[in-house]
Structure formats: C-alpha cells, structure tokens
Amino acid sequence: MTYRVCFVCTGNICRSPMAESVFRARVAEAGLDDRVEVDSAGTGGWHEGEGADPRAVGVLRDNGYEAGHTARQFDPSWFAGLDLVIALDAGHLRALRRLAPTERDAGKVRLLRSYDPGAGDDLDVPDPYYGDREGFEQCLEMVEAASEGLLAAVRERVEGRAA
C-alpha cells in the first residue's frame, strides 16, 4: 500500500514545491519511492497552473534537485487519500485543520519543522516570495534539516504497514 504525503504552503510556488522536491529525493535515496508518494499544493489558488517561482527552481537545481512543478490548490477531499499533510507554517496548519472533514483528518496535519530537532521554538518556514534568493536558500536549508526526521517517521509508518 502506498503512503501519501502532501506539502502545503500558500500559493504552491515556493516553499511546498521545494519541500516536495527535497523529500522526493530523500524517499528515492532511501529506496522507498515505490511505496511513498510525494506531492504539494497551496492553501489558495492564485497560482494554479503556473510553474514554481524561478528563484525556487534555481536554488533547487543548483543543489541537485528536480524542479519540475505545476501549482495547484489543496482540496479538502484529498484528506481521504492522504496519510500525512505537511504544513510549512502555523497559518497553513490552522487553515488545513479547519478544512479537514473529520478530527482524524485534522490529525494528519503536521508542521514540517516539527521533524527538525534543531528547529527550536519557531517551527515556521518563512515565506521567501517577497525577498531575494537568500530567502530561498534559507528555505531550502530548513526543508533539508527537517526532511531527515520526516523520512524517519515515514519509514517507520511504511515499514510498520508491511509487517
């Protein structure tokens, strides 16, 4: 059975596509790409059908990640098919939990940086959209730091299902 993870930010052109690309690479490196499906979406539909922000694409490519992406808006009906919904900041977390049709679905929503033991108290990944490339590089660093812990949690769930 496939374990499904969806990363969610505001417009699905910066943070969540970066998280999707990084985590997809981690899943492949772990040999779990046949058992874990990774995608992303935005809480709003402002950028639906557009590619990722060129700065996000540049930072991803410069760091060896795939950067193909088409933005879309998260639909509450997706909860039924998802195992884990990863919010990039507290605002997304609240919005997604409000959209969740059931308490069980609301329980699927987690903050990405909650998987980074070095994150401290601030678990938000700041939106780099209104800044320069440096903000996108910092976003990538935060995503990479949290991806290892997230992968460990997903691996545990996937391997537990197979047992």
Q: Which residues are catalytic?
A: 9, 15, 127
CB distance 142 to 114 below 8 Å: no
Cα within 13 Å of Cα(65), Cβ side: 25
Q: Where are the alpha helices (DSSP H) in the chain?
A: 15-29, 54-62, 90-99, 103-106, 133-162
